[in-house]
Structure 1
């Protein structure tokens, strides 16, 4: 497999019911993971060009689901299934990060 141009990390961390901190897993991250993989197939992105991986907790739990795109180090917050197409069409296809999903507030 060639080295991927992009690596999309999707936080899928889950916490037990009643935990005081939210989790990306309970906010629909599993569906995001499937949506990214399906979106890449629908766009006929060559295998190996983009790698999608599930991860544990990435940190900004209150802003989840969190998605990170490397090598750009772009962090997306509150990502929904509807946002997946925008990330693939704008960031992955055109190299233009999606500003509306990339708030600096998560790091303050």
Structure 2
């Protein structure tokens, strides 16, 4: 008989999804694609590869429904949502969170909305 599945286990240590959704130009919530999300995804994928981080997967996603905070990415299984402005923000997420396991609180969406 096989072992029971552990619902808390994850195949990847960190699985990062980048919203690449595009909305009509007049959409008041905006969208991530127009705010550089594709470049952000590509930069992060390259940075993770350069560091040879094991157990880290960087994926594209459709709408993650956090449009007003765009561009956004989410790190699972930690359920940490980030807004980023430029490559240096993404580098900080890669080195601090993905490499060393320390959440970058200043870039967390939920922390930004609490302030």
What's the TM-score, normalizing by structure 1? Answer: 0.86
Q: 1:76 and 1:68, CA in 2 relative to 1: closer, same or farther beyond 3 A?
A: same
Query: Which of residues 29, 42, 51 in structure 2 aligns to 1:43?
Result: 51
Would you say 1:66 and 2:72 are equivalent positions? yes
**Do structure 1's residue 84 and structure 2's residue 85 form an aligned pair?**
no
Q: Which residue of 2 aligns with 1:33?
A: 41
Runs of 4 or more above 6 Å deviation: none
User: What residue is the counterpart of 1:9 in the other structure?
Assistant: 17
Structure 2: tracts of 5 or more residues without a match: 1-10
Q: TM-score, normalised by structure 2?
A: 0.81
Q: CA RMSD in A?
A: 2.1
Question: Which residue does 2:60 correspond to in 1?
Answer: 54
Q: Which runs of 5+ in 1 are unaligned?
A: none
Give the Cα separation in 1 of the matches to 2:113 and 2:73: 12
Which is greater in Rg?
2
Distance in 1 (CA, whole Å) between partners of 2:34 and 2:113 is 19
